Chain A
Amino acid sequence: MTQLEELFKKDLVTNFGPDKMLPDLKFAEMEPGWDCGGGTYTITKEEVEKFAKLMGDSNTGEVNIPIGMIYIFGLRICWDRKVFIDQAVRAGDRITFFKPAKIGDTITTKLSIADKKEVQKEKDGKVRVNKFLFINMNATNQDGDKITDVQMSFLLPRTMQ
């Protein structure tokens, strides 16, 4: 385990949510509002400094943490909750920023299905149906203040039924 792995070890995050994970669902079962679960974590100064160094960010958290950290914790929760289906390709994000996050904050991130779409695409005389899934990732602090809302969209692998 590298120093960074040790620093960001999984027990910093407490996960919660239904037993059933997203990849257990068929596409037809992926309905808007479905609760993918979530997690909580407390931001430490050490984590912030390491993250800033990795990303070359001059913000080392004296006032607010680097924004990308909210993303990175969210990603870990997404992975733990299996929101990221292997070979699914990220198509886009819509991010809205609210209150800043600070060292010592305990952040709760919740994930749910926002929408799904099937888009027909014709190429070389063949019609393909691309399946897209939209996931909401909402982060709040210990006072219930919104930190960020992110809506992620994914192109699902062709093997997804």
Chain B
Amino acid sequence: MANVGDTLESKSISVTQDLINEYAHICGDYNTLHVDVEGMKDHPLFGGTIAHGTINVEPVLQALCAIQKTTWPLEGTMINLQFRAPVKPGDTIASKLTVKDTKSEGGKTVLVCDLAIANDKGTDCVKGNAEIPLP
């Protein structure tokens, strides 16, 4: 049982342009932001390609399952995300979930958490919150 202030299990992935390209192939999202390596070099905001937002979220999706010891988030699990900074090829990103409150719903304990996905330079690329029912 986690307590307020506890940090929950984390998952991480290393993002490369190859991974972004393969992801684009399978989801069909060829937005130039993700795959146009040459064209994005001069982009005023990013200065290079950035990962699909859904790649950024992958560590927290895997972490939810690890925390709940399941292969699919329990019914009622909710995450709310804001993308704050781009994830770029070369970044390793990891989930950070910190318990800020607990509540009881339907006879289950629900962890109310602050959520972040940070890169290896210490930047929180994604911030948000999560409600995680425990089994």
Complex Cα distance A93/B32, Å? Answer: 21
- Residues A88-128 near B (CB distance < 8 A): 88-101
Q: Does A144 contact B (CB under 8 A)?
A: no
Q: Which residues of A contact B74 (CB under 8 A)?
A: 97
Q: Does A160 contact B (CB under 8 A)?
A: no
Q: Does B48 contact A (CB under 8 A)?
A: no
Complex Cα distance A71/B57, Å? Answer: 10
Complex Cα distance A75/B75, Å? Answer: 22
Q: Which residues of B contact A100 (CB under 8 A)?
A: 71-72
Q: Does A67 contact B (CB under 8 A)?
A: yes
B78 interface neighbour in A84, A90, A95, A99, Cβ under 8 Å? A95
Given A68-B54, A71-B54, the answer on whether A94 and B78 have CB atoms closer than 8 Å is: yes
Are A72 and B72 neighbours in the complex by a CB distance under 8 Å? Answer: no
How many interface residues does A have (CB within 8 Å)? 45
Q: Mark A49-74, 1 if CB is under 8 A from B, else 0.
A: 01100111101001111111001110
Q: Does B26 contact A (CB under 8 A)?
A: yes
Q: Does A45 contact B (CB under 8 A)?
A: no
B33 interface neighbour in A51, A67, A87, Cβ under 8 Å? A87
Main secondary structure of the interface of B (DSSP, over half): mixed
Q: Which residues of B contact A129 (CB under 8 A)?
A: none
Given A71-B54, A98-B75, the answer on whether A91 and B83 have CB atoms closer than 8 Å is: yes
Q: Does A20 contact B (CB under 8 A)?
A: no
A-B pairs under 8 A by CB, number = 118
Q: Does A2 contact B (CB under 8 A)?
A: yes
Q: Which residues of B contact A57 (CB under 8 A)?
A: 58, 62
Interface residues on B, range: 35 or more
Q: Which residues of B contact A64 (CB under 8 A)?
A: 70-72
Are B81 and A93 neighbours in the complex by a CB distance under 8 Å? Answer: yes
User: Which residue in chain A gives the minimum CB-CB distance to B133?
Assistant: A97
Are A54 and B83 neighbours in the complex by a CB distance under 8 Å? Answer: no
Are B29 and A75 neighbours in the complex by a CB distance under 8 Å? Answer: yes
Are B53 and A72 neighbours in the complex by a CB distance under 8 Å? Answer: no
Are A76 and B78 neighbours in the complex by a CB distance under 8 Å? Answer: no
Complex Cα distance A66/B26, Å? Answer: 15
Given A59-B65, A68-B61, the answer on whether A93 and B31 have CB atoms closer than 8 Å is: no
Complex Cα distance A67/B72, Å? Answer: 6
User: Which residue in chain B gives the minimum CB-CB distance to A10?
Assistant: B28
Complex Cα distance A87/B28, Å? Answer: 15
Complex Cα distance A57/B120, Å? Answer: 20
Are A76 and B29 neighbours in the complex by a CB distance under 8 Å? Answer: yes
Are A54 and B78 neighbours in the complex by a CB distance under 8 Å? Answer: no
**Contacts from B to A (Cβ < 8 Å):** 13, 19, 22-23, 25-33, 52-54, 57-58, 61-62, 64-65, 70-83, 128
